[in-house]
Amino acid sequence: DSGVTQTPKHLITATGQRVTLRCSPRSGDLSVYWYQQSLDQGLQFLIQYYNGEERAKGNILERFSAQQFPDLHSELNLSSLELGDSALYFCASSVDGFGYGYTFGSGTRLTVV
Amino acid sequence: ELKVEQNPLFLSMQEGKNYTIYCNYSTTSDRLYWYRQDPGKSLESLFVLLSNGAVKQEGRLMASLDTKARLSTLHITAAVHDLSATYFCAALLYSGGGADGLTFGKGTHLIIQP
């Protein structure tokens, strides 16, 4: 157990729907990062939050959004889902904003049908 | 824009043999990571390399970093079947007072046959 908790582990939903993925960072970690892993695109960085504030953006679609709450857990919201959004979504956390102690969660597998 | 290239992308080798996976990155990177991923599983951190000439070893795996050549290598010594997995390298850049997200290579799918 890495200490980074992601829920749910699996999610199946229909096209056009909206889902929310949840991530709880390791105790003491202030940064949360979201990644998408698909066969087509490989592993891609989506977005990072540090202590509640958006810190960096990667290849995140406009249909996707995220936030980090005061208790430091984070949620990734995916809306108007398309078949191509089917992927493994990973959350990672680190102690600071410089990537120290980077640790990945076990991921959420999203299947859009 | 930081780009990371790994090669080979697929490697089938026999137990007991040695091999090296190469990771090239396009611009100066502040940290270089190696991860292992088993099918459908999470990313397991293997090594973090911080400076030029860094070498780290864990069991049959050894990673090195040459920042001048923008090259990292993951060397496998006397491979065993349990090392079969996909290996990723990833580079990290600092900007604006903090770290950006990791930029990953496409991964090397390693199969070790008895």
In angstroms, rounded to a whole number, what is the distance separating the alpha carbons of residues B30 and A98? 10
Tokens of B76: 């496998």
Residues of chain B contacting residue A33, judged by C-beta atoms under 8 Å apart: 101-102
In this prediction, residue B114 carries a pLDDT of 86
Task: Please give the residue of chain B at the shortest CA–CA distance from A46.
Answer: B101
pLDDT value of position A50: 92
Residue length, chain A? 113
Euclidean distance between CA atoms A33 and A54, whole angstroms: 10
C-alpha dihedral, B5 to B10 to B15 to B16, nearest 10° = -30
Cis, bond preceding A8 (omega within 30 deg of 0): yes
Q: Is pLDDT at B93 greater than 90 in this prediction?
A: no
Interface of B with A (CB under 8 A): 31, 33, 35, 40-43, 45, 48, 88, 90, 92, 94-104, 106-107
pLDDT at res. B50: 87
Chain B contacts of A107, Cβ < 8 Å?
42
pLDDT at residue B30, as a whole number: 78
Closest by CA position to A81, among listed A101, A102, A107, A63: A63
Report d(CA A76, CA A24) in Å as an integer: 12
What CA–CA distance (Å, rounded) separates A93 from A79? 24
Q: d(Cα A87, Cα B8) in Å, to the nearest integer?
A: 24
Q: Could you tell me whether strands A108-112 and A10-13 are parallel, antiparallel, or unpaired per DSSP bridges?
A: parallel
Extract the tokens encoding A34: 């979201």
pLDDT digits (tens, 9 = 90+) for A9-27: 999 999 999 999 999 999 9
> pLDDT at residue B99 above 80?
no
Nearest to B38 by CA among B110, B89, B106: B110
Do residue A45 and residue B100 have CB atoms under 8 angstroms apart? Answer: yes
Instruction: Say what the pLDDT of residue A47 is.
Output: 95
Three-state SS at B45: strand
Name the residue among A113, A109, A96 with its Cα closest to residue A6: A109
Nearest to A66 by CA among A95, A98, A89: A89
What would the mean pLDDT of A90-102 be, rounded to a whole number? Answer: 85
Q: What's the confidence (pLDDT) of residue A21?
A: 98
